[in-house]
Structure 1
Amino acid sequence: MIGDAQAGRFEGKVALVTGAGSGMGAAAARQLAAEGARVVVLADLNGAAVAAVAGELPAGRAVPLDVADADAVDGAVADVLREYGRLDVLVHAAGVDDPQAKQLIADALVEGRPPEVTDRLSDAAWRRVMRVNLDGAFHVLRAAVRAMRPAGAGAIVVIGSSSAFDTPVGYPHYAASKAGVHALSQAVAKEVVASGIRVNVVAPGPTETGMAARTPEALRSGFADPRVRPYATPEEIADIALFLASDAAANLVGAVLLANGGRFTA
């Protein structure tokens, strides 16, 4: 189900959404199409999944893409410019978690002991999270700025994480990657606003995505706090992302909007 679509808000726009094969990326792509985008290019590492979502949209076009591959990102954005002449909106939702670290944290919760993750964290696990989450964000931001700066306009929204603020115990690499994404986005935002480009960040809390579905039950139940809202839906986060991409957010530059249902404030 599409979130609160506002007809015509993105009328005629050319949009690119990464991580669009599922979750928040798919929700953002559907909503952009519903709100009048001329074309929505959906990019995701899972080619079959992104093709399925794109097939739902009259203005959808699927592109298999690994955001950790700088050349592939540059090529995908160059293709958008070649085919459609411009890039108006980018929503960067691609990212990964670490199921093995989550399982170690969950096991410790069940056994009533502190998690022991950092000393067991491999270089490969660290690099995988950094390569996709932080390096990938850099590749996508750089390519988008290269595309938008000559036009003197554009809106970029990056999906970060509330983990950058509350730094969950046993999840140092993920928290560090998302904190880096926030700082990267804010630094770029201050630079490119002079070129008419706005960059902002949404920092979701627990959200019902594929990552959440793979989270061990012991961890999921730990987020079940009756004093705050339950897991967000992907559409709720997409609503915030598209507000930031819209003209209504013209005065927001380098903002990090914490969207965690009231679990904590920053």
Structure 2
Amino acid sequence: MGEETQMNSDARQAVRFEGKVAMVTGAGSGMGAAVARQLAAEGARAVVLADVNADSAKGVAEGIGAASAVPLDVADAAAVDTAVEDVVRRYGRLDVLVHAAGVDDPEAKREIADALAAGRQPEVTDRLGDAAWSRVLRINLDGTFHVLRAAVRAMRPVGAGAIVVIGSSSAFDTPVGYPHYAASKAGVHALSQAVAKEVIASGVRVNVVAPGPTETGMAARTPPELRSGFADPRVRPYATPEEIADIALFLASDAAANLVGAVLLANGGRFTS
């Protein structure tokens, strides 16, 4: 009986996105790519991969059935609107949107790493230029607003849809020397929760995954000194993109029907909120 129950559970999961139309931002690598692959594997009839790096998105899409790729800078509001409208025009609807696009600040990471190696406190805030601040906020926070707004415009008229935003545990532990990134992700969480409370009345669910250290291209650019700071034997190591994708897809699935405005902390036990 136990084996039969497991087989039935596996079968349900294999088709939980059957016939759905999905769009994934930041799908050219990392968590976005893992989400796109899993959506297709679980029955989505169309998966649109959007990324500022068009070649990366195309490369991922070529390995996925029923997938297509579009270039997209989420900081460009008009481009986001057009991309989502094109999905609806082409497929008739948008059922799932996972927003994984975002950036970090390699220069700030380097300063934090250098400070750790030298045994001193990072000094980032007084050196942080307007351009660096604006870049992180424009892409991470403004970009999330653009994507949420466009997705809601597509989903509200049909009274259904699931939106999952990739946030960050940095919004909670606010790493020293990383004020702009922490602020952008805290804003992403609050923005998503505010929208979630509004649009659930229209049948649209919005939730957030807040990963801790995850093996992505962004993590690969993290200086070794900073990476070693996350090597705590008391907690799980860096997550894989697939592990975070599993959480995102749970939130997008019918199994999470009662989760609205949730921020799921997925940091391997480094801290709790």
Normalized against structure 2, the TM-score is what?
A: 0.96
Amino acid at match of 1:199: V
Amino acid at match of 1:81: V
2:218 to 196, 211, 223: 211
Cα deviation code 1:37-67 (max 9, x no counterpart)? 0000000000100000000111110000000
Amino acid at match of 2:245: A
Hey, what does 1:224 align to over in structure 2? Answer: 231
SS for the counterpart of 1:102 is helix
1:58 partnered with 2:65:
yes
Hey, what does 2:124 align to over in structure 1? Answer: 117
Counterpart Cα distance in 1 of 2:194 and 2:89: 28
Give matches, 1:94-173, under 5 Å: 94-173=101-180
Structure 2: segments with no counterpart, 5+ residues: 1-9
Deviation at 1:258, TM superposition (A): 0.1
Counterpart Cα distance in 2 of 1:104 and 1:115: 6
Hey, what does 1:179 align to over in structure 2? Answer: 186
1:11 to 15, 18, 21: 18
Amino acid at match of 1:224: A
1:196 partnered with 2:203:
yes
1:33 partnered with 2:46:
no
Hey, what does 2:251 align to over in structure 1? Answer: 244
Structure 1: segments with no counterpart, 5+ residues: none
Counterpart Cα distance in 1 of 2:86 and 2:109: 37
Deviation at 1:229, TM superposition (A): 0.1
Counterpart Cα distance in 2 of 1:216 and 1:127: 23
1:83 to 65, 82, 90: 90
1:263 partnered with 2:270:
yes
SS for the counterpart of 2:69 is strand
SS for the counterpart of 1:33 is helix
Q: Output the aligned Cα RMSD.
A: 0.8
Counterpart Cα distance in 1 of 2:82 and 2:268: 37
Counterpart Cα distance in 1 of 2:14 and 2:199: 29
Amino acid at match of 2:164: V
SS for the counterpart of 2:23 is strand
Cα deviation code 1:88-119 (max 9, x no counterpart)? 00000000000000000000000000000000
Amino acid at match of 1:244: L
Amino acid at match of 2:116: L
SS for the counterpart of 2:43 is coil
Hey, what does 2:7 align to over in structure 1? Answer: none
Amino acid at match of 1:146: R
Amino acid at match of 1:223: F
SS for the counterpart of 2:261 is coil
Runs of 4+ residues deviating >6 angstroms? none
Amino acid at match of 1:87: L
Cα deviation code 1:171-199 (max 9, x no counterpart)? 00000000000000000000000000000
SS for the counterpart of 1:158 is strand
Normalized against structure 1, the TM-score is what?
A: 0.98
Counterpart Cα distance in 2 of 1:12 and 1:89: 11
Aligned residues: 263
